[in-house]
């Protein structure tokens, strides 16, 4: 099982199946916030194209659906999924922090489960997004808010630290590995609600924002390990000594099962959904 996880993590494969545990649960409610007149949609960090496929079902008149992602393998899966929609679909392999070229404007721009990967460039990305949105368009994004402990770790960071402890580290040594390997904890990448509100307000009018508790559950330790490998790749497993990477994934599976037994979930955090409109008040940034 863990040898498979190591292979899977190298290429972040299996995202379609894995994301059913967390990321895809947000997609329907994100689409609820699309303008009724949506004809052109842009999905930032589109992954395997699931949201765009659902958008075609919701908006049969959709004329253009563009997805951007930096992982070519995910875009290949998206292309396969969206093949039936022909040249209405555009898929672009690009880094969102590099202001990619797109055929703007769009009625609806979405970015789900992506923002923490853009740290610390959010302000620049929000400015670029504000330039791609139509006058009556909506920008909807989801942001993650795990509670950070005194070491700045929370959510998955904390599960990972426990796995490193199972491999023999003290808590302090496991925590120190994050800085030593340049792995910035997700609980810090995600920024606070207050900070994000201030950042978004520089470029948009925030129309609505709603929090929701997101609890991660998996049917088995193996299922959690597949989710982890598909979502985080080697981001966290690089913290383990190379000879212990397989054991690291085993430890994650063990801890996931143990938490499910003990508390009925593996991790829990707030996910916030934001609906933003083009900036109309005062001087734009």
Ligand X SMILES: C[S@@+](CC[C@H](N)C(=O)[O-])C[C@H]1O[C@@H](n2cnc3c(N)ncnc32)[C@H](O)[C@@H]1O
Is the Cβ of residue 142 or residue 175 nearer to ligand X in the bound state? 142
Report how far Cα 185 is from the mean position of its chain's Cα atoms: 14
Cis, bond preceding 117 (omega within 30 deg of 0): no
Alpha helices in the chain (DSSP H): 2-11, 15-18, 27-31, 50-58, 72-81, 122-130, 156-166, 171-180, 186-189, 193-201, 221-232, 245-263
Does the footprint of ligand X cover residue 231 (CB under 6 A)? yes
Residue 97 as a binder of ligand X (CB under 6 A): the answer is yes
CA distances from 222 to 1, 28, 174, 260 (A): 7, 27, 23, 12
Please tell me whether residue 95 binds ligand X under the rule CB under 6 A: yes
> Taking Cα atoms as reference points, which of 61, 62, 54, 64 lies closest to residue 32?
54
- Verify binding: residue 229, ligand X, rule CB under 6 A: no
Asked if 43 contacts 129 with a C-beta cutoff of 8 angstroms, the reply is no
Tokens 């925590």, residue? 175
Contact between 112 and ligand X by CB under 6 A: the answer reads: yes
Q: Note whether 190 binds ligand X by CB under 6 A.
A: no
Residue number with CB closer to ligand X (128 or 204): 128
When the beta carbons of 31 and 174 are compared against ligand X, the nearer one is 31
DSSP β-bridge partners for residue 214 = 269
Residue 75 C-beta: closest distance to ligand X, Å: 9
# chain residues binding ligand X, by CB under 6 A: 20
74 binds ligand X (CB under 6 A): yes
CB of 237 to ligand X, least distance (A): 16
**Closer to ligand X by Cβ: residue 114 or 174:** 114
| Site residues for ligand X per CB under 6 A | 19, 23-24, 45-47, 68-71, 74, 95-97, 112-114, 117-118, 231
């Amino acid at each position: 099982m863990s040898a498979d996880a190591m292979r899977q993590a190298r290429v972040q494969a299996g995202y379609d199946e894995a994301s059913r545990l967390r990321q895809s649960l947000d997609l329907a409610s994100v689409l609820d916030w699309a303008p009724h007149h949506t004809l052109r949609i842009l999905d930032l960090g589109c992954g395997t194209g699931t949201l765009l496929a659902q958008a075609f079902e919701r908006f049969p008149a959709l004329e253009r659906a563009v997805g951007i992602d930096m992982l070519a393998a995910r875009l290949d899966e998206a292309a396969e999924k969206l093949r039936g929609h022909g040249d209405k679909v555009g898929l672009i392999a690009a880094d969102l922090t590099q202001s990619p070229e797109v055929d703007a404007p769009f009625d609806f721009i979405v970015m789900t489960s992506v923002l923490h990967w853009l740290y610390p460039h959010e302000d620049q990305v929000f400015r670029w997004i504000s330039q791609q949105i139509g006058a009556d368009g909506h920008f909807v994004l989801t942001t993650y808010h795990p509670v950070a402990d005194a070491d700045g770790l929370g959510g998955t960071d904390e599960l990972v630290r426990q796995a490193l402890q199972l491999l023999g580290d003290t808590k302090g040594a496991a925590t120190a590995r994050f800085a030593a390997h340049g792995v910035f904890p997700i609980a810090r990448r995600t920024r606070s609600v207050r900070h994000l509100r201030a950042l978004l307000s520089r470029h948009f009018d925030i129309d609505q924002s709603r929090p929701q508790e997101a609890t991660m559950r998996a049917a088995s330790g193996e299922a959690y390990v597949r989710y982890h490998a598909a979502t985080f790749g080697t981001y966290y497993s690089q913290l383990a000594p190379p000879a212990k990477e397989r054991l690291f994934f085993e430890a994650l599976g063990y801890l996931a099962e143990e938490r499910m037994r003990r508390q009925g979930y593996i991790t829990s955090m707030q996910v916030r959904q934001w609906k933003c409109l083009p900036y109309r008040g005062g001087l734009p940034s």
